[in-house]
Amino acid sequence: MNERPLRVLHVGCGPKKPDRLPPPFNAPPWQEVRLDIDAGVGPDVLASMTDMGVIPPSSFDAVLSSHNIEHLYPHEVPLALAEFTRVLTPQGFVVITLPDLRRIAEWILADRLFEMAYISPAGPIFPFDILYGFRPALAAGNLYMAHRCGFTAASLERALREAGFASVTVRSDGCWSLWAVASVQAVDQAATGLLADTLISGTDDGHAAD
């Protein structure tokens, strides 16, 4: 008997691209369902991550949030994390990646705010862009790209635990992003750590301009 497909809710999915899903979500048995607030990217579900009421409780095995939590205001973050826990099955988990404020702070202290950090598919990225949002996109009128909050590893872990996740692992990718894996039920910490390491090693993270 074939095992049922596993469903991942990709929140803040952006335009559909084959390489937008990190492993292991980009291969069977995982099936992606795309959710975004921007109708222009053609999501499967048009909704805000702070109000996903159109999605039934306990209906997804995983939630993937790649570089979009930072677009929320601080008071909206608990709402989004509560929605993540609501739509996950009891065995489900969330994967979150977002900018690492500690890394950005190191460059600010070195007066390197406007020194190029790296080149993304969208163009050169500077610490200022990672902190506040990608300036060319904002200048073009895409205000969804503004960054309104941020996290260090410690504050991200605290937010996830306050949201009710039982096991939480947060890793830095050694560059500009944090990766968090958090499960609804308590699991061996080594399991969440292994998944976090796999995600970091298998992903060319060019989303820090998102």
Query: Domain limits of the chain?
Result: 6-99+150-201
pLDDT tens-digit readout, 78-127 = 999 999 999 999 999 999 999 999 999 999 999 999 999 999 888 999 99
Count of beta carbons in the 10 Å neighbourhood of residue 38: 14
Confidence of residue 71 (pLDDT cuts 50, 70, 90): very high
pLDDT of the residue at 210:
64
Phi, psi of 146 (to 5 degrees): -65, 140
CB 61 within 8 A of CB 140: no
Once rounded to an integer, what is the mean pLDDT over residues 181-188? Answer: 89
Q: Which range (26-35, 62-71, 184-193, 199-208) has the least confidence?
A: 199-208
Confidence of residue 209 (pLDDT cuts 50, 70, 90): low
Once rounded to an integer, what is the mean pLDDT over residues 42-46? Answer: 96
Region for residue 109 given its phi and psi (left: phi exceeds 0; alpha: psi -120 to 50; beta: otherwise): alpha
Cis, bond preceding 29 (omega within 30 deg of 0): yes
Mean residue pLDDT of the chain comes to 90
Domain 6-99+150-201 falls in which CATH fold?
Answer: Rossmann fold (3.40.50)
Count of beta carbons in the 10 Å neighbourhood of residue 140: 10
pLDDT tens-digit readout, 127-180 = 999 999 999 999 999 888 899 999 999 999 999 999 999 999 999 988 899 999
pLDDT of the residue at 21:
87
Structure-token pair, residue 103: 């890394």
CB 12 within 8 A of CB 68: yes
